[in-house]
Amino acid sequence: MTDYTTNTYYNLFIRQKDNQYKIGNTTYKERVKKLNALKRVVEITYKEKIRQALYDDFKKPFTETDLTEIYPVVSEIKFVKSNLKDWMSRQKVETPMALLGSSSWYNFEPKGVCLVISPWNFPLNLTFGPLVSAIAAGNTVILKPSEMTPHISKVMAEIVKDIFEDNEVALLEGEVEVSQELLKLPFNHIFFTGSPNVGKIVMKAAAEHLTSVTLELGGKSPTIIDETANLKSTAKKIAWGKFINNGQICVSPDYLLVKESIKDNFVNELKQQVKAFYTEEASKSESFSRIVNNRHFDRLVNHLEDAKKHNATFEMGGKSKSEDNFIEPTLISNLPENASLLQDEIFGPILPIKTYKTNEEVINYINSKEKPLALYIYSKHKKTINDIIKNTRAGSTCINNNVVQYSNHNLPFGGSNNSGIGKSHGFFGFQEFSNKRSVMKQHTKGSIEFLFPPYTNLKQKIVD
């Protein structure tokens, strides 16, 4: 592990600061070369090490690593490469008549020295994804991944060392204290992915230097299922979106709102589907990862205990094994509103099911909580879909599917207020790491005469 003291963080920061114009002035081709190098190591050279590290961190199945860690980074790089030339070019805009004789444009200039703090749940994707945008925009970057997934952090540190000088990109391993020290430095941008509570700490630290921030946060993502939805395919998509990565996904369905009339049928379909994915004994399934550590395991077991105290109905699952940080895929209904599962973001393999009678009830319920990162609607009824979208707020919405909206690079990804500030992916990520610099150029020797004193009656008439 790199032994950086506060002073060496500062030295590293200064060396990146000194290097920022060189990196910022790189051409499209030079940036593409770096992105290609990153693509090659993730996709080929380090692929097996990445798979093994994530398995060692929380038993993440290799196929899931390919799909949710390696593929998103590689496809983000491909998308950026095919658009970067356009994004880097001068964006010409019209100039009003009053400013006749001049032309105007803006361009995306790099912000400078950037900090990326990432979470443990998709550690590679959520560290290298923002890195792709930062490199594309011409920045230098310090990366600080989570302390909770040390195996993959070590591999990412090797990767970064292999392909970058540390005055361009550096990755610092270590505990929370490393992030706390880094947050004291006057970065030009901070891109943080994590919980709303730590997001507030990051934003406060950023305010000290008026550093701009992107905050990719979390929260409770509601999933509505009405009587017109295809129950079988809805159950399949929700079972996948909820239990992939063991439910440790910021955009997984956090709780279901199911039309009362179809609740029993739907829950049956969902149970069948979960068994089809992970068998009756999920602990033996090679497709089911684990809770990341004891702390999160205990947090989730406390939710189960709280549900039991409230005499909630365990429709499926509920058992756990502490030695393996394993919790069964669990479906729970009949929870009172004050149950912890309906209050906190769950981030684990437990899915509460609530019922509703009217769309108005659903809308009021969602609006009584913080704006979610994602809101899902399973319905064939256009009016229902439109009414819910128009009368609620959310970072993103997916209709008749879940989680997959994340993978469309043409869509901005991020939350709103408590679920996030700013957007990532594709052009939106590039934009986040850039300053839109406006330039106006006066072409003639003349100038806009009516601006200058003395303010005569004639000038007043022009202004009028």
With tokens 């990341």, the residue in question is 292
DSSP conformation letters of 133-171: HHHHTT-EEEEE--TT-HHHHHHHHHHHHHH--TTTEEE
Shortest Å, Cβ 75 to ligand NAD:
16
Residue 106 one-letter amino acid: Y
Subset of 393-422 contacting ligand NAD (CB under 6 A): 415, 420
Could you give the CA distance from residue 183 to residue 40 in angstroms, rounded to a whole number?
A: 31
Binding mask 213-232 for ligand NAD (x = CB under 6 A): ---xxx--------------
Which residue, 133, 79, 82, is CA-closest to 111?
133
Closest approach of ligand NAD to the CB of residue 337, in Å: 21
> Contact 356/362 with Cβ under 8 angstroms?
yes
Instruction: Give the C-alpha separation, 402 to 355, whole Å.
Output: 19
Indicate the burial class of 407 (C-beta count within 10 angstroms; 0-12, 13-18, 19 or more): middle
Q: Is 179 in the site for ligand NAD (CB under 6 A)?
A: yes
| Interatomic CA distance for residues 409 and 184, integer angstroms | 33
417 φ, ψ (degrees, to nearest 5) = 55, -115
Of 6, 75, 180, 410, the one binding ligand NAD (CB under 6 A) is 180
Identify which of residues 167 and 405 has a Cβ nearer to ligand NAD in the complex. 405
By C-beta, is 117 or 267 nearer to ligand NAD? Answer: 117
The answer to whether 360 is a known catalytic residue is no
Site string for ligand NAD, 330-349 (x = CB under 6 A): ---------------x-x--
Binding mask 354-373 for ligand NAD (x = CB under 6 A): -------------------x
Number of CB atoms found within 10 A of residue 450's CB: 14
301 is a contact residue toward ligand NAD (CB under 6 A)? no
**220 close to 372: Cβ distance less than 8 angstroms:** yes
Nearer to ligand NAD by Cβ, of 176 and 411: the residue is: 176
Determine which one of 173, 181, 250, 315 is catalytic.
250
Which one of 47-55, 194-202, 355-363, 456-464 is the stretch in contact with ligand NAD (CB under 6 A)? 194-202
Question: Is the Cβ of residue 218 or residue 329 nearer to ligand NAD in the bound state?
Answer: 218
Tokens 């602990």 -> residue:
283
> What mask of x and - would describe binding to ligand NAD in positions 72 to 101, judged by CB under 6 A?
------------------------------
Strand pairing class (396-399; 420-421): unpaired
Q: Is 250 a catalytic residue?
A: yes
Exactly one of 16, 133, 146, 234 binds ligand NAD (CB under 6 A); that residue is 146
Based on the shown chain and the rule CB under 6 A, indicate whether residue 69 belongs to the binding site for ligand NAD. no
Q: What angle do CA 85, 86, 89 make, to 5 degrees?
A: 85
**Cis upstream peptide for 352 (omega within 30°):** no
Binding segment toward ligand NAD, per CB under 6 A, in 28-36, 76-84, 176-184, 309-317: 176-184
> Which helix or strand (DSSP H or E) is residue 75 part of?
helix 71-88
C-beta closer to ligand NAD: residue 135 or 206 = 206
Binding-site ranges for ligand NAD (CB under 6 A): 117-121, 126, 146-147, 176, 179-180, 183, 193-195, 198, 201, 216-218, 250, 345, 347, 373, 415, 420
Q: Which residues are catalytic?
A: 216, 250
